[in-house]
Amino acid sequence: MDRRRFLGTTASLLTAFQANSLAKAQNAIASVNGRPADTVARDEDFWFNIRHAFTVDRNMINLNNGGVSPAPKIVMDTEERYLEMENLSPSYYMWNVLDPGVETVRRRLARMFGVDTEEIAITRNASEANEIIQLGMRLKPGDEVITTNQDYPRMITTWQQRERRDGIKLKQLTFPVPPPSMDYLAKMYEDAIGPKTKVIHICHITNRTGQIFPVKRICQMARARGIETIVDGAHAFAQFPFTHADLDCDYYGTSLHKWVLAPIGTGMLYVRKDKIRTIWPMMAAPDSMQENIRKFEEIGTHPASQRNAITEAINFHESIGGERKAERFRYLRKRWSNQLRELPGVKILNSEDPEQSCAIGFVSVDKIDAPQLAKHLWDKYRIWTVAIVTPGEYQGLRITPNVYTTLEEIDTFTEVMTKIIKNGSIPS
Ligand SMILES: Cc1ncc(COP(=O)(O)O)c(C=O)c1O
């Protein structure tokens, strides 16, 4: 076959594959309408068709989707189309044709989060969203911020830099995993409040053991005392369903390249409307924009292709359905963790309460070093996980599958772990 014919055939095969895979996902979604989410969670025919929407490497088992997720093919294609378009003549196509489309993205994100369009800024990731607030708040020397030692390291580093730069005081709480209850977590924050406390910074769900916090109780308790609340939702948005009314926080930062399955390099910031004027943007904006949420997007030239493709990711997420996704995640987590927990020396450190846990699972094995275990799983079996060590407290593997994960992949992980745990050490 000459090169042109070969390329032509490959291109038409690819087009057929894509059209077919999307149709499969659409048919699957239509076929489960009206059925309870926990039943759909176990319906392999449904998830088989969803898998076709992804082009992931099936010669590795990716159980670190919590770090960052692959986008479905339809989202990548959309991003690529926008990329080509903006490069036709960027100063025209990017600024005049594509940038106005970001207003649709803002509207869709606002609807998904249940807030006003004028309260949503689009950022490059959760770090940027959180840091805009952390660095932009007006705090005086001696003002206190309360968070935990299990919050995201970069967010803790940000507060520590403000300690050095502005003389604020950071108080980091510790808590056992899993904690005794949601009440325990709420009381922990309440008891820590002092006369100088100005801010409470909470993870909606931690990136370590996947602990979900009683955000609304903490935020309302804080507001009654004149304390502002920042919620780091990097892992929460689209992992399980909720809206702002379920949280009632002042500020919310999240990644979109984790559970929304949007292009890599996208995030979202929510700011309560009456707070917008009080926060300095990270990069300067004119005084006329003081009350405009878009002042947080004044970052200079940046690609429109990633941001504009967020809408397609929201469509994909909403087509599967937030409740179905969450139930599937809980089902996958229980599938491996219920087997491993019976083995000697194993501790499952995520909570089993569905209010306190979803996709993220955490397994710790006595006398087995977690970083070495993660390395062995990768080197010998191409199972990709992440080792997490909280010095002096606990260590283990964080396991995060995704909507495209197969039962065979989960069961392979379970079998391999069972063998190692029964052996009592990592084979050399
Ligand atoms: C709790 C938490 N906050 C913030 C971040 C930072 O997210 P991003 O990489 O999108 O900036 C992460 C990333 O894993 C996270 O888990």
CA-to-CA separations, 287 to 280, 284, 290, 291, 292, in angstroms, rounded: 10, 9, 5, 9, 10
For residue 9, what pLDDT is reported? 45
- Is 232's C-beta closer than 6 angstroms to any atom of ligand 1? yes
The Cα–Cα gap between 317 and 117 comes to: 19
For 85-120, the pLDDT digits (tens) are: 999 999 999 999 999 999 999 999 999 999 999 999
User: How many CA atoms lie less than 13 Å away from 425 in the CB half-sphere?
Assistant: 2
DSSP string, 276-289: GGGSPPSS---GGG
CA of 146 to the centre of ligand 1 (A): 19
- Is 255's C-beta closer than 6 angstroms to any atom of ligand 1? yes
Those residues whose C-beta lies under 8 Å from the C-beta of residue 293, and which sit 6 or more positions away, are 118, 119, 120, 121, 271, 276
For residue 23, what pLDDT is reported? 78
- Is 207's C-beta closer than 6 angstroms to any atom of ligand 1? yes
CA angle 227, 230, 235 (to 5 degrees): 150
**Nearest by Cα to 404 from 44, 138, 160:** 44
Amino acid identity at 93: Y
For residue 133, what pLDDT is reported? 99
For residue 13, what pLDDT is reported? 44
CA of 97 to the centre of ligand 1 (A): 31
CA of 222 to the centre of ligand 1 (A): 24
Amino acid identity at 416: V
Of 235, 268, 306, the residue with max ligand 1 atoms within 8 A of its CB, to mutate for a pocket test, comes to: 235
Question: In order of start, what are the domains of the chain with their CATH numbers?
Answer: 3-62+321-423 (3.90.1150.10), 80-316 (3.40.640.10)
For residue 398, what pLDDT is reported? 98
Q: Which residue has the tokens 């807030």?
A: 115
- Is 152's C-beta closer than 6 angstroms to any atom of ligand 1? yes
Those residues whose C-beta lies under 8 Å from the C-beta of residue 285, and which sit 6 or more positions away, are 292, 295, 296, 298
Of 150, 152, 260, 306, the residue with max ligand 1 atoms within 8 A of its CB, to mutate for a pocket test, comes to: 152
For 135-148, the pLDDT digits (tens) are: 999 999 999 999 99
| Segments in the chain below pLDDT 50 | 1, 3, 6-14, 17
The Cα–Cα gap between 281 and 422 comes to: 54
- Is 237's C-beta closer than 6 angstroms to any atom of ligand 1? no
CA of 154 to the centre of ligand 1 (A): 8
Of 255, 258, 386, 388, the residue with max ligand 1 atoms within 8 A of its CB, to mutate for a pocket test, comes to: 255
